[in-house]
Amino acid sequence: MYKTIVALVTAFLLTTTLAACGAEQSGGGMSGGSAENYPEQPLEWTIAFGPGGGNDIMSRTLVDILKKEKLYPKDIAVENKEGGSGAVGWGYVFSKKGNPYHVSTTSGSFITTPLQADTGWTYKDFTLVGQLATDDSLFVVPKSSGITKWRQWEDQAKRKGKVTVGGIGTVNVDFILHAQLAKQAGYKIDYVPFNDEGQLLTAMTSGSLDAVVSNPSEVLGQVSGGRMNAVLFTGKEALPQLPDVPTANSLGFKNLVATPRGLLLPPDVPDNVRDWWIETMKKVGKTERWRAYLKDNNLIRDEAWGDDFEKELDATSKRFERILRAHGAIK
């Protein structure tokens, strides 16, 4: 009796494994469907980060708009695939070569993760739809420093010889920005990397740091609450909430990096599908809801489609690579 059951279960296991493997293989081939009638299948939307973060909020907003405005006729399934600084989620989309029913969104890690780890893909491998906005950074100093203008900061930094600045991570936008600003302005920095925003902010309030760069959403409260002064914003235009804070461009800084907020498809997706998505995202970009999202999350509209987007990513990636290599963070 016992042996029979075990044998049966084992046989069942084996056959289903084989069946599953078979299904997997055949699944890859028929994935495309006919490209003319796109879209005619449900969409799988992968978020390469956990719930609640910037990438997650943007993805869910986009999906919401696509559904509400009936821009995507079929169902959209959203899934968070977190891990390895985005490597897991984007790796999953990468594995869906040629399948037009997978979508994901970009972050800074879309460029940095392949630079520092052997992910098996880079941004070049994907079918890039376009960038809708950039997530820029605010450069803030403690109120107690008495500094209110970028000039004062520069003078103080040069006078001190070296300033201690902080941000999140090392292979990350924050560090690159500090390095770019210091180099172009001509002062020296000691960069202190942090793992999370809470510790970064308390390090600042405790008087350990001379300045930090941070996402506006995270520090606007500190600025309006009078604990920190914002002296520079890296976006193309000034932040609506802080119109008096000068942009980096207006102060003469060039080529500062930002987190690209865009859309991507798996590798080798037909051109007409990409064009369909470019048209659709242009429509999304015009909706009231998207405008509200940009405003609430302090993003700056900066659209670039298809090949233009790829060119921007090329340039950003090169900047990252050069600075990180000089710093010894990547080999």
Partner 1 sequence: MTALTPVTRRRWRITPLTAFLLVLLAVFGGYAQMAMELEWRTEAGRIGPGFFPRLIGLAGMVLCAAAVVRNVLRPDTEEAAPASRHRGALLLVVAAQALVLFTLVPLGAVLTCVAFLFLVLELLDRTRPLLNLAVSVLVPLGLYLLFNVALGAGLPQGPLPF
Partner 2 sequence: MDVFANLAAGIAGVLSPINLLLLASGVLVGMIVGVMPGLGPSAGLAILLPLTFGLDPVGAIVMLAAVYYGAMYGGTITSVLINTPGESATVASTFDGYPLAKQGRAAPALVIAAVASFVAGTIGAVLISVAAPVTAGVAASFGPPELFMLVILGLLTLIVVIGKKRLLGIISVLIGFALATVGIDIGGGQQRYTFGSTELINGIDFIPVAIGVFGVGEILWNLYCGAHRERLGYFDLKRASRRFWPTGADWVESRWSMLRGSVLGFFVGATPGAGATVASLMSYSMEKSVSKRPERFGKGAMAGLAGPEAANNAASAGAMVPLLTLGIPGSASTAVLLGGFLMWGLQPGPLLMQDEPDFAWTLIGSMYLGNVMLLLVNIFCIPAFAKVAKVRFQILAPVVIVLCVLGTFAVNGSIVEVGIMLGCGVLGFFMRRFGLSPAALVIALVLGPLAEETLRQSLIISEGSFGVFVDRPVSLALLCFLPVLCLLPIAVKLWRRRVSPAAVPVEAQPTEPGGDHEALDTAEHETNR
- Selected binder of partner 2 within 222, 234, 247, 280 (CB under 8 A): 222
> In sequence order, what E strands does the chain have?
43-47, 76-80, 102-105, 127-135, 138-142, 162-168, 188-194, 211-214, 228-233, 259-265, 300-305
| Cβ atoms of 283 and 263 closer than 8 Å | no
- Selected binder of partner 1 within 7, 19, 292, 315 (CB under 8 A): 19
Tell me: does residue 13 bind partner 1 (CB under 8 A): yes
Tell me: does residue 202 bind partner 2 (CB under 8 A): yes
- Selected binder of partner 2 within 53, 246, 267, 270 (CB under 8 A): 53
Strand 211-214, strand 300-305: pairing: unpaired
Tell me: does residue 30 bind partner 1 (CB under 8 A): no
Which residue, 128 or 209, is less far from partner 2 as judged by CB?
209
> Helix count (H) and strand count (E) of the chain?
11, 11
| Residue 55: both structure tokens together | 């990438």
Task: Tell me how far apart the alpha carbons of residues 197 and 222 are, in angstroms, rounded to a whole number.
Answer: 12
Instruction: Pick the piece of the chain touching partner 2 (CB under 8 A) from 75-83, 230-238, 259-267, 279-287.
Output: 75-83
Tell me: does residue 42 bind partner 1 (CB under 8 A): no
Cis peptide leading into residue 39 (ω within 30°): yes
Site for partner 2 in 109-148 (CB under 8 A): 113, 116-119
- Selected binder of partner 2 within 65, 66, 103, 171 (CB under 8 A): 171
Kindly state the number of chain residues that form the binding site for partner 2, as judged by CB under 8 A: 60
Three-state secondary-structure class, residue 37? coil
- Selected binder of partner 2 within 35, 71, 203, 242 (CB under 8 A): 203
Tell me: does residue 93 bind partner 2 (CB under 8 A): no
Task: Tell me how far apart the alpha carbons of residues 26 and 20 are, in angstroms, rounded to a whole number.
Answer: 10
Which positions lie near partner 1, rule CB under 8 A?
Answer: 1-2, 5-6, 9, 12-13, 16-17, 19-21, 23-24, 79, 190, 328
